[in-house]
Amino acid sequence: MALSNRSHTTQTNQLLAIDNPSIATSDIQYRFAGMQDIPAISTLMIKAYKQTYSVTLNYYTDDVLEKLFGKEFRDKTLPGELNDIQYQFILCEKDTQLAGYAKLEFKENVVYLDKLYFLNEYQGKGYGQQLMKICYQSAYNHGYNEMKLLVWDKNEKAINFYKRSGFKKDKTIPFLLFGNIPTNESNLEMTCKDITPYVKTRSANN
């Protein structure tokens, strides 16, 4: 699999096909992210983490969220990843507002779904399922058959969503804050070993 086949210059702002008629309306769109989307992604991630974790997982304080998705994220981390062929960001917008997004990390033999978040008000409408299909299609278009992810083991809503999308539980691993600070929590590693049933096997991008 050659990561060099990917191009950032052609993907920014490219509208992506919606194959679910129930959400295929003029006020919903999916597209690849560009530099102009950095402030909106930062704002969405802070809000989404508060909605998802703040009630039951007390590690994500305002200070921690600022370190994760604040100034350094906006000024350094996200610009670097948007310019790195190893990463791809896919946005879902509703009425021109950012409703959710996914981040893919392309590794040697597997794609990691690093993030997939929607704000609460946009959940349960089929938007996440469509975004998942787009992630699968992008992975397939770049030569991958397998996708992995990590999810907090108490996030049953997300776990069930991923099960419906073809993922199966692999193992439980410790949750490390900032990647290196031990906590009392755990993540599940989940894998979809064959994404081909969820994609169009012929693509205009190939």
Cβ–Cβ under 8 Å, residues 141 and 196 = no
Cβ–Cβ under 8 Å, residues 130 and 175 = no
Q: What's the rounded Cα separation, in Å, for the pair 185 and 180?
A: 13
Tell me the DSSP string of 103-141.
EEEE-SS-EEEEEEEE-GGGTTSSHHHHHHHHHHHHHHH
Q: Give the dihedral of Cα atoms 64, 56, 91, 26; nearest 10 deg.
A: -140
The answer to whether residue 44 scores a pLDDT higher than 70 is yes
| Stronger pLDDT, 150 or 178, i.e. the higher one | 150
Identify the pLDDT of residue 16: 72
The alpha carbon of 168 is separated from its chain's Cα centroid by a whole number of angstroms, namely 18
The position carrying tokens 């893919």 is 104
pLDDT band per the 50, 70, 90 thresholds, residue 9: very low
The answer to whether residue 80 scores a pLDDT higher than 50 is yes
The CA R_g of the chain, rounded to the nearest whole Å, is: 16
Identify the pLDDT of residue 5: 45
| Stronger pLDDT, 21 or 121, i.e. the higher one | 121
pLDDT band per the 50, 70, 90 thresholds, residue 202: low
pLDDT band per the 50, 70, 90 thresholds, residue 8: very low
Identify the pLDDT of residue 116: 98
Q: What is the pTM of this model?
A: 0.88
Please compute the mean of the pLDDT values over residues 75-92 and round it to a whole number: 96
List of domains in the chain = 3-198 (3.40.630.30)
Q: What's the rounded Cα separation, in Å, for the pair 193 and 99?
A: 28
Burial 34-60 (b: 16+ CB within 10 A, else e): eeebbeebbebbbbbbeebbeeeeeeb
Lowest mean pLDDT among 14-28, 88-102, 137-151, 189-203: 14-28
Q: What's the rounded Cα separation, in Å, for the pair 93 and 15?
A: 11
Burial grade of 167 (CB within 10 A; 0-12, 13-18, 19 or more): buried
Report the percent of the chain where pLDDT is more than 90.
73
